[in-house]
Amino acid sequence: MHYANTYLEKPVVPDVKITGEGTTDVLKCMLNTGSDIYQGACKKRGSTLKEEYKNASGTCYMDPRDMAKLGVNNWDTVLVKTDFGEVVVNCAVSRDAPHEGTVFICKGPWANTIVSHDTYCCSDPTYKGIRCTVEKTDRKVLLMADLMRWVYKKYVDETDDDTVENMESLGELPVYKGRKWEELIDHDL
């Protein structure tokens, strides 16, 4: 019996080489979010602060025809914008293609920055059918702690005059009161 190997640096995606320079700078799409086996495995292992979780949850899965329109390949970065926010994520060919005009991002920190926080009296935000735009970018996908710092201004002092995206990464270890784990000494805990 064969089981999916979820201990991978990046999720397995179809190896499709996208050719062409792209025909559009901004692609209008419908965003759906949901769970994914790779994301779930990372959460069960407790690796939500690590690069592997960023690669599993911080990825926009797209139809290869849409990727060709943008001129992007697997693991290029894209900026996804909705009426509720924006986020930089990896892009990759969807294992569920074809679904031209629809993109998928795993439910989690990256998707949460671009879905509505309004629950419309049903206790859950709207995770599906959200209008979005996708465009190629040279910006990098942030690790979880860095994303929390950027979106929610966690671990930022009033004296910080640099933009969060330009700050040194907090890394893959836990952050305590705004300090990197390796900077802490016993009495700080």
> What does the pLDDT read at residue 93?
92
Residue 87 has phi, psi (to 5 degrees) of -155, 145
E-only strand ranges, 44-120: 59-62, 77-82, 85-93, 102-106
Strand 175-176 to strand 26-34: parallel, antiparallel, or no bridges (unpaired)? unpaired
Fold of 26-183: Barwin-like endoglucanases (2.40.40)
The answer to whether the CB of 30 falls within 8 A of the CB of 102 is: yes
**Contact between residue 166 and residue 142 where contact means Cβ atoms under 8 Å apart:** no
Whether the pLDDT of residue 6 is over 80: the answer is no
Give me the pLDDT at residue 138, please: 94
69-83, 132-146, 167-181: which has the minimum mean pLDDT? 167-181
120: phi > 0 → left, psi -120 to 50 → alpha, else beta; which? left
**What are the start-end ranges of the E strands in the chain?**
26-34, 59-62, 77-82, 85-93, 102-106, 130-136, 175-176, 179-180
Report the amino acid identity of residue 50. Answer: K
Summary mean pLDDT of the chain: 81
Per-residue pLDDT, 2: 42
CA distances from 171 to 42, 88, 116, 179 (A): 16, 17, 28, 11
Hey, what amino acid is at 99? Answer: H
The 8-class DSSP code of residue 46 comes to: T
Rounded distance between C-alpha atoms, residue 170 and residue 111, angstroms? 20
Share of the chain above pLDDT 90, in %: 39
Residue 161: count of CB within 10 angstroms of its CB = 6
The shares of helix, strand and coil residues in the chain, as percent rounded to the nearest 5, are 25, 25, 55
Angstrom CA distances, 164 to 46, 137, 161, 186, stand at 25, 17, 9, 28
